Amino acid sequence: MHPGLVAGNGAPPRTGVSAWLDPLRQRRAAAYVAGPGLEDALAAARRLRTDGIPVALGYSAAPGESARAAADVHLGAFEGLAAGDLDGYVAVKLAPLDFDPGLFAELEAASKRTHRRLHLDALAPEVADRMWALAESASDPGALGIALPGRWRRSVDDARRALDLGMTARVVKGQWADSVDPNVDPAQGFLQVVDALCGSKNLVIVATHDVALLAESLRRLSAARTPCEAELLVGLPFAPPARAARRLGLPVRLYVAYGKTGAAYGIGEAVRNPATAWWLVQDLLLGKDKTWQSIRRSRARL
Q: Is 37-261 in CATH node 3.20.20.220?
A: yes
Separation of alpha carbons 87 and 85, rounded Å: 7
Does an H or E element contain 169, and which? strand 168-172
Q: Where are the domains of the chain?
A: 14-32+265-302, 37-261
Rounded to whole angstroms, how far apart are CA atoms 245 and 27? Answer: 30
Q: Global pTM?
A: 0.82
- State the alpha helices, DSSP H only, in the chain: 16-30, 38-49, 67-83, 101-114, 128-137, 155-165, 186-197, 211-223, 239-247, 267-272, 274-286, 289-301
Q: What is the pLDDT of residues 207-219, one digit of tens each?
A: 999 999 999 999 9
Count, residues in the chain: 302
- What are the CA-CA distances from residue 161 to residues 147, 152, 225 (Å)? 12, 15, 20
What pLDDT is recorded for position 290? 59
**How far apart are the C-alpha atoms of 203 and 213, rounded to whole Å?**
18
Q: CB neighbours of 178 closer than 8 A, spacing ≥ 6?
A: 125, 151, 152, 153, 154, 184
pLDDT reported for residue 183: 87
The percent of residues in the chain predicted with pLDDT above 90, rounded, is 70
Q: What is the mean pLDDT of each run of 10 residues along the chain (302 residues)?
A: 34 50 54 91 96 96 96 98 98 97 98 98 93 97 97 96 97 88 91 97 96 98 98 91 96 95 46 48 53 63 50
For 219-236, the pLDDT digits (tens) are 999 999 999 999 999 988
